[in-house]
């Protein structure tokens, strides 16, 4: 719950950037709004990893707008560079931290394979965990290698995570 409020604010700001980028009349204004929106969408993943959906939505929206409105290759290149640069700068901290986590990161990845979603049932005095098992999970779990060993189950798992992100529970 704590990250939902800031996540909504970032999502609205990203949508505003996409809107202003679509209305921009110059390449410079398009680039500025594209950079702000790319930074916001990339930062949203640091706030909550399930916000990766916002990054995908941003990229789809920008590519669609660039295809429909901008024909200049320089604007395309600038927007792609803005996204890659903001992603590298924002995600670098997590990328540097992940190797230090070692087996902890691997266990989180395996939890993401074993369960499509985690929620909580709140009673009057406490909250109890609620797990949604992944029907496509094939043991043994082996982190990233699992997706390569079981590509169809991996694709179904990723689709399940995306659908689960929009589910009420």
Same domain flag for 161 and 109:
yes
Q: What is the pLDDT of residue 6?
A: 86
Surface-to-core class of residue 6, CB atoms within 10 Å of its CB (0-12 exposed, 13-18 middle, 19+ buried): middle
Same domain flag for 42 and 78:
yes
Total of domains in the chain: 2
Range of the domain at 122: 103-165
Same domain flag for 20 and 92:
yes
Look up tokens 């930074």; give the residue.
Answer: 39
Same domain flag for 112 and 60:
no
Q: In the predicted model, is pLDDT for residue 154 greater than 80?
A: yes
Same domain flag for 72 and 7:
yes
Same domain flag for 81 and 26:
yes
Residues 6+ apart with CB under 8 A from 56: none
* Mean pLDDT, range 101-128, rounded to an integer: 76
Q: What is the pLDDT of residue 16?
A: 93
Same domain flag for 14 and 94:
yes
- Per-residue pLDDT band for 138 (boundaries 50, 70, 90) equals confident
- Local structure of 9: helix, strand or coil: helix
Q: Which two tokens stand for residue 110?
A: 């395996």
Same domain flag for 7 and 81:
yes
Same domain flag for 90 and 59:
yes
Give tens-digit pLDDT for 28-77. 888 899 899 999 998 988 887 778 788 888 888 887 877 776 667 777 78
Same domain flag for 36 and 94:
yes
Same domain flag for 109 and 89:
no
- Per-residue pLDDT band for 95 (boundaries 50, 70, 90) equals confident
pTM confidence score: 0.60
- CA–CA dist 105, 99 (Å, integer): 8
Among the listed residues 161, 137, 160, 159, the one whose alpha carbon sits nearest the alpha carbon of residue 149? 137
Q: What is the pLDDT of residue 169?
A: 60
Q: In the predicted model, is pLDDT for residue 168 greater than 70?
A: no
Same domain flag for 131 and 68:
no
């Amino acid at each position: 719950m704590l990250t939902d409020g800031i996540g909504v604010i970032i999502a609205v700001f990203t949508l505003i950037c996409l809107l202003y980028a679509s209305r921009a009349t110059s390449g410079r204004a398009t680039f500025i709004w594209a950079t702000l929106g790319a930074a916001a969408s990339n930062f949203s993943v640091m706030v909550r990893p399930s916000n990766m959906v916002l990054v995908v939505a941003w990229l789809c929206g920008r590519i669609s707008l660039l295809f429909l409105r901008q024909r200049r290759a320089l604007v395309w290149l600038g927007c792609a560079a803005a996204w890659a640069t903001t992603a590298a700068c924002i995600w670098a901290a997590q990328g540097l931290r992940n190797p230090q986590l070692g087996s902890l990161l691997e266990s989180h990845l395996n939890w993401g394979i074993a369960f499509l979603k985690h929620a909580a049932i709140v009673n009057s005095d406490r909250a109890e965990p609620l797990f949604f098992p992944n029907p496509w999970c094939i043991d043994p779990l082996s982190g990233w290698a699992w997706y390569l060993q079981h590509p169809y189950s991996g694709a179904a798992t990723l689709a399940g995570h995306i659908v689960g992100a929009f589910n009420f529970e």
